Amino acid sequence: MRVIFVGPPGAGKGTQAARLLERLGTPHISTGDMFRAAVKAGTPLGQEAERYMKLGQLVPDAVTIGLVRERIAQPDCAGGFLLDGFPRTTPQAEALEAALQADGVAIDAVAVLDVPDDLIVERITGRRTDPETGRIYHLRFDPPPADVAGRVVQRKDDTEEACRTRLALYHEQTAPLVPFYGDSGRMKRVDGVGTPDEVTARLLATLGL
């Protein structure tokens, strides 16, 4: 099965992607991992991507799509894949769709985790990290023990202001993917509110797994 996984920051996408991969048994293709692998391998597209990354610039869509095409052409993707982190915009989705069609590859489903903005803000702003162990806690859902509570810290991008900025960007750029893929009947919306197990059950049921 070939699946694109979409969701706002803090929706639990990482947790659910890992669980979905266990069921699918297919490779997880994230743009970050893909860039690093291509750069390490020294492929022409990897070298081009590295030039932009060293300058702190976004890798152009054409290069990213080329890397996606390279990656999914590898033997381990013959039975399917989970594409995570791309596309993020409608133009990217349109270009990716055209490229995959040219390769004779079709996306089976686009899974979207839906979580209300206010709950996402609560999830993200409540996160705290233990700088000594790297363990992540949550002030409400998974509070740190008393002997750790005094040293946990909040990441700079976990403030409410930063969180709402990221959410606004998601709604502006990524949310339009819903009607784009919805027109083809491949869009699968999943309620992301609840325990991880509850969300996983909904996700698998929605995808017919």
Q: Is 202 a catalytic residue?
A: no
Catalytic residue flag (residue 88): yes
Told to judge if 127 belongs to the known catalytic residues of this protein, a careful annotator would answer yes
The pLDDT score that the predictor gives to residue 138 is: 94
Query: Is 54 an active-site residue?
Result: no
Kindly name the residue from 88, 164, 186, 189 that is annotated as catalytic. Answer: 88
Give the active site residue among 40, 51, 135, 155: 155
Percentage of the chain modeled with pLDDT above 90: 55
- pLDDT tens for residues 67-126? 888 888 899 999 999 998 889 889 989 999 999 999 999 999 999 999 999 999 999 999
pLDDT at 34: 84
Is-catalytic flag, 166? yes
Among the options 2, 19, 123, 127, which is catalytic?
127
Two tokens, residue 50: 């590295």
User: Are 64 and 31 within 8 A, CB to CB?
Assistant: yes
Q: In what order do the strands lie in the sheet with 187-191?
A: 28-30, 81-84, 2-6, 109-114, 187-191
Q: Is the pLDDT of residue 129 over 90?
A: yes
Would you state the pLDDT for residue 159?
92
Distance in angstroms between the alpha carbons of the first and the last residue of the chain: 10
Q: Nearest CA to 178 among 89, 57, 83, 101?
A: 89
Strands 127-129 and 136-138, bridge-based pairing: antiparallel
Residue 149: CB partners within 8 Å, gap ≥ 6? 143
Across residues 128-150, what is the average pLDDT? Answer: 94
Mean per-residue pLDDT for 177-188? 88
Q: Which domains does the chain have, with CATH numbers?
A: 2-26+79-207 (3.40.50.300)
Scanning the structure block, which residue is given the tokens 């069609």? 101
> How much is the pTM?
0.83
pLDDT (average), residues 174-181:
88
Helices within the chain (DSSP H only): 13-24, 31-41, 44-54, 61-72, 90-102, 117-125, 146-149, 160-169, 177-182, 196-207
The torsion defined by the Cα of 156, 160, 166 and 171, in degrees rounded to 10, comes to 170
